[in-house]
Structure 1
């Protein structure tokens, strides 16, 4: 009799354990589906916004930002990096948190927007400009900055365009770095005064994953050099950032070079 009772208890315990394992499996599966659906929603939302914005992309010959500015007066530029999906309006908020999770329409969006550091001059008249964007696995926003960490891609793709309401800059990629968010050489704008060249160029040369010496030489020779930095999160270490630095060349000057 005792053996039978013991057997019943064992079977009951096995049933309880199996039941809870099934419940845990169902919860885990449901959560996984939720995460996948949520990621899909985030990526789809970002792609939809980009698709809408591309219809309003200013023409390179005569940049007209009137339609973009009617949607959001914080739009200050449009950046394109050739060979990537980076083709977005650039915004500038009151702080660097304004557009970290807000799209160009001002609506909440986990993908956020591409935005200019709030300490930079909105008209891109500084010597150094810092752009931020989320890293997205789909390559959206600044996810494609990962491509520049591949030597073959870095060698082949070295151009871009920065459109402003009153002028156009041709971009020449100078270097790509993997650095920390506390790197003052990159993330402290006060370290990039008009006479920044000596210390900063030495730092770039010594810390770059890849660099183009011809572009760095051009920056060194330039009387009033201008640089734009594109930065996003990366996974090499805690608080790591990928930074792509590009020389800004006014379109008329670029035409003269050719």
Structure 2
């Protein structure tokens, strides 16, 4: 074999060995969820009007998924699971299928015993560095963003719910308390009133809110900051197309 052919054969062998080595190296973890591009507002509204139940194939989802959240004008479009009482932080490190994942899964606080029907539904989601999961919610600390993104859609297996954001705050998780049990509507109202008195962004008074949601994600004002977005249910909304 001449020197030219020998050199070519050696180069091919080295390349094949490199490919083989890559095949056995651990691959970087991938986001287990489909990430939508941010649609134009009118396109998003048209899509919502055309889809029954948000166009979600509930039969294809695991039983752990109890709801789906979608924030028009952002990439937030994810299943929500119910937190486990025996392991409240399980879904910080596991996806909706129970598989380990850095993205975790948006989940309802395990203390919300009635799930999506709880008086105050607290939903946690990661703020990922790639801008996915609940990362867009950190922008609600800006009044301009909050005013432009007041609508949040939540779908359950039984119904479609329209939420309207009424406040947002950045809190220190090491000192901020939480409650999931309320004696009655007046007790919830007093609790929300106290929260709003300290909120950075207040778009509307919380008086007479009988059922509220709080979406929580990390933010980076301090080492342990969380952005909390408060929203109330809007009565009479129906996602089904008119006949």
**TM-score, normalised with respect to structure 1:** 0.68
Q: CA deviation at 1:211?
A: 1.0
Distance change (3 Å), C-alpha of 1:193 and 1:179: farther
1:76 to 42, 63, 66: 66
1:93 to 83, 86, 95: 83
Contact persistence 2:125–2:133 (CA under 8 A): yes
Q: Tell me, which stretches of 5 or more residues in structure 1 are unaligned?
A: 1-37, 53-57
Question: Higher relative contact order at CA 8 Å, sep ≥6: structure 1 or structure 2?
Answer: 2
Distance change (3 Å), C-alpha of 1:123 and 1:236: closer
CA offsets 1:83-108 (integer angstroms, 9 cap, x no match): 22111010113232221111122211
Paired position in structure 2 for 1:195: 186
Root-mean-square deviation over aligned CA pairs? 3.0
CA distance in 1, matches of 2:165, 2:144: 14
SS in 1 for 2:181: helix
CA distance in 1, matches of 2:203, 2:162: 16
CA offsets 1:96-124 (integer angstroms, 9 cap, x no match): 22211111222110110111111214552
Query: Do residues 104 (structure 1) and 104 (structure 2) align?
Result: no
SS in 1 for 2:90: coil
Q: CA deviation at 1:61?
A: 2.8
Distance change (3 Å), C-alpha of 1:83 and 1:73: same
Distance change (3 Å), C-alpha of 1:84 and 1:127: same
Q: Tell me, which stretches of 5 or more residues in structure 2 are unaligned?
A: 1-25, 37-47
SS in 2 for 1:229: strand
CA distance in 1, matches of 2:59, 2:105: 15
Contact persistence 1:134–1:232 (CA under 8 A): yes
Q: CA deviation at 1:249?
A: 2.3
CA offsets 1:148-172 (integer angstroms, 9 cap, x no match): 1222212211111010111111010
CA distance in 2, matches of 1:60, 1:114: 22
Paired position in structure 2 for 1:236: 221
Distance change (3 Å), C-alpha of 1:68 and 1:168: closer
Distance change (3 Å), C-alpha of 1:145 and 1:252: closer
